[in-house]
A and B are shown apart, each in its own frame.
Chain A
Amino acid sequence: MTDTSIAPAPSAAAITPMVEAVGVSKSFGSNEVLKSISLTVRPGEVLCLVGPSGSGKSTFLRLINHLETLSSGRLSVDGSLVGYRQVGEKLYELHPKDAARQRREIGMVFQRFNLFPHMTALENVMEAPQRVKRQPKAQVEQRARDLLARVGLADRADYYPAHLSGGQQQRVAIARALAMEPKLMLFDEPTSALDPELVGEVLDVMKELASSGMTMIVVTHEMGFAREVADTLVFMDGGVVVESGQPREVLANPQHDRTRAFLSKVL
């Protein structure tokens, strides 16, 4: 057992990985933020990405649903390339419509919630299924109410985001992402903008989601959450994967100096 192997399940080869990154790099101008990242996420797996700021975690997350375009390497979600179509040896840029279709399958939760402030919690959750999937309103509303109940906010359906606490806003944002019935959820530091006493309620929702079998990639500084919920912990620094493995193992017995230095600051 090497600590750097990323897909621990022996049967991983048989099933299509939910996310497969091979040599993924990303540069902003001359600044290379990601340097040849390779990793695999199995369906149902919860992967936590940790590391100091500027290590490229968020950028990697944004590449997965094509909010940024990658500079080199191959990145696929559920077997299909993100943002491109491959015919033979040639890559073709996807039409924005097709890129949007790919994104529907991937839910994303942001550090700053990014709820639509001019819509109520319920309207926020209903917007995408109604406008993007064009599902009938009654059906969408019922599911939206169920989802709000699932995140513990059934009684806040008619509130505008400005009248909700940060933790409540983030839970609405999770419900909004789930309304599109995604097969993969991306969390970009979902609790970093919250007051400490509000972090727990959001993590609880995420734990429930993980136990329901959702595939999740979580960029976080919450080591307790990573230890308890994640199947895999990936430590990134300077745009590379420094080490990865079972969270308990990595946290208890880091192999690399940089991991050790980082963990000593956050634990």
Chain B
Amino acid sequence: MSTAAGSAPESEPIRAIKLKHPWRIVFAVVILVIAAVFLIDAARRPAYDWASVAKYLFDRRVSAAALVTLELTVLAMIIAIVLGVLLAVMRLSPNPVLKAVAWFYVWLFRGTPVYVQLVFWGLIATIYQTIDIGIPFTSVQWASFATQAVVNAFWLSVIGLGLNEAAYMSEIVRAGLVSVDTGQNEAATALGMSWGQTMTRVILPQAMRVIIPPTGNEVISMLKTTSLVTAVPFSFDLYNRTRDISAETFNPIPMLIVASIWYLFFTSILMVGQYFLEKRFARGIGDRRDGKGGDGGPTGTLQIVGANQPSVVMPQAHEAGRR
């Protein structure tokens, strides 16, 4: 290679012939053919009754039901996320009482089917006919409400779905909190931050990165779980409303398609929202595209705390010395 001496450092860009992937094309064609056959067939098949689908897709009752489903989802998830964070933090707190309460909650609400729980919530007014405020087991009573008067099927659905989901959310949040490097906790503690400050300022923001993707999953799952509120019974949500309409028209299949289109529309929007949330909480962590870091980008010195390799004197000495 002695002939290279004196040649300019600027070298010619590579113009290689791209590697061919013939099987990809074959599979793509096969799938397209199958899809086309299915679509053409579906378009002609009378059972799908596309005319009815078009007629009912924007039917006032259906779009109102879609809004109810969205409300149920959002309200239930707000309860679930708030309660879930609280339960997860309780579970990891140094206080054994809080720990036990959180454990029991998750055991109870995760251990029984959501359908069964919704039936129970529906029967709450039968089980507890009045809500009394006073001193238990005495005749002292300051106020009393008829349960029937203060709750309705919608809110019972929200509570039933939210409390059930909180158990799952708490496990998701807990996994996120535990995933944060213990050094973060130590650093915050060593600075004199309280346990609460450490949680809210240091641990939770970092845990969000781990918490958000499965939470997005749970929101999408909740959107569809709302169809179970018929157990309460509550029937103004998307699925049960479309079922009721098809009970009148004796034509269930187009109504199923209508409901599916609405569910897909909402989940698609939720996926977009999740994308932006994930970007927001990736701040400072392995985001090399982020402009704020300036020239830190292309050098070999990028290091993520807790992920870099110690490369000098006795790398494991510290860890070994501690335990």
Q: Which residues of A contact B (CB under 8 A)?
A: 28, 52-59, 62, 65, 67, 96-97, 100-101, 103-104, 106-108, 110-120, 127-128, 131-132, 158-166, 169, 173, 176-177, 180, 188-189, 191-196, 199, 221, 266
Contact = CB atoms under 8 A, between A and B. Distances in A.
Q: What DSSP secondary structure best describes chain B's contact surface?
A: loop
A163 B197 contact: no
B293 A159 contact: yes
Interface string B304-323: 11101011111111101111
Contacts, number: 166
Residue picked from A55, A115, A163, most chain B C-beta under 10 Å: A163
Contacts of B294: 159, 163
B306 A112 contact: yes
A65 B182 CA distance: 16
A160 B312 contact: no
B205 interface: yes
B2 interface: no
B33 interface: no
A165 B313 contact: no
Given A113-B305, A117-B304, A192-B314, 11 more contacts: A58-B318, A100-B189, A101-B192, A108-B187, A110-B186, A118-B281, A161-B305, A162-B293, A163-B297, A180-B191, A192-B312
Interface stretch (B47-55, B84-92, B262-270, B283-291): B283-291
Nearest to B306: A112
22 contacts: A53-B320, A101-B192, A107-B190, A110-B186, A111-B310, A112-B310, A116-B206, A117-B206, A117-B305, A118-B285, A132-B197, A158-B292, A159-B294, A160-B283, A161-B284, A162-B284, A162-B287, A165-B301, A188-B318, A192-B310, A192-B317, A221-B313
A189 B303 contact: no
A128 B320 contact: no
B184 interface: yes
A112 B303 contact: no
A114 B183 contact: yes
Contacts of A58: 318, 321-322
Contacts of B323: 28
Interface in B172-188: 181, 183-184, 186-188
A53 B187 contact: no
Nearest to B181: A114
B296 A164 contact: yes
A119 B316 contact: no
Contacts of A96: 194-195
B305 A163 contact: no
Contact of B293 (A107, A131, A163): A163
A158 B184 CA distance: 20
Contacts of A196: 312
B280 to A, nearest CB: 11
B190 A65 contact: yes
Given A116-B202, A128-B193, A166 B301 contact: yes
B190 A106 contact: yes
Nearest to A65: B190
Given A58-B322, A114-B305, A162-B304, A195 B312 contact: yes
A202 to B, nearest CB: 12
Given A162-B293, A164-B296, A192-B313, A118 B284 contact: yes
A115 B312 contact: no
Contacts of A119: 284
B313 to A, nearest CB: 5
A104 B305 contact: no
Nearest to A222: B313
Contacts of A112: 183, 305-306, 310
Contacts of A118: 205-206, 281, 283-285
Contact of A165 (B284, B303, B312, B318): B303
Contact of A128 (B191, B297, B305): B191
A169 B317 contact: no
Contacts of A103: 189-192
Contacts of B186: 67, 110, 114
Contact of A114 (B184, B197, B283, B297): B184
A201 to B, nearest CB: 13
5 smallest A-B Cβ distances: which pairs?
A: A163-B296, A163-B293, A104-B192, A53-B317, A160-B284
Nearest to B317: A53
A108 B304 CA distance: 20
Contact of B302 (A28, A163, A180): A163
B181 to A, nearest CB: 8
Given A110-B187, A111-B318, A163-B294, A132 B305 contact: no
A176 B305 CA distance: 15
B318 A180 contact: no
A108 B187 CA distance: 8
B191 A132 contact: yes
Contacts of A54: 317, 320-321
Given A114-B305, A117-B304, A97 B194 contact: yes
Contacts of B205: 118
Nearest to A123: B284
Contact of B305 (A97, A106, A115): A115
A66 to B, nearest CB: 9
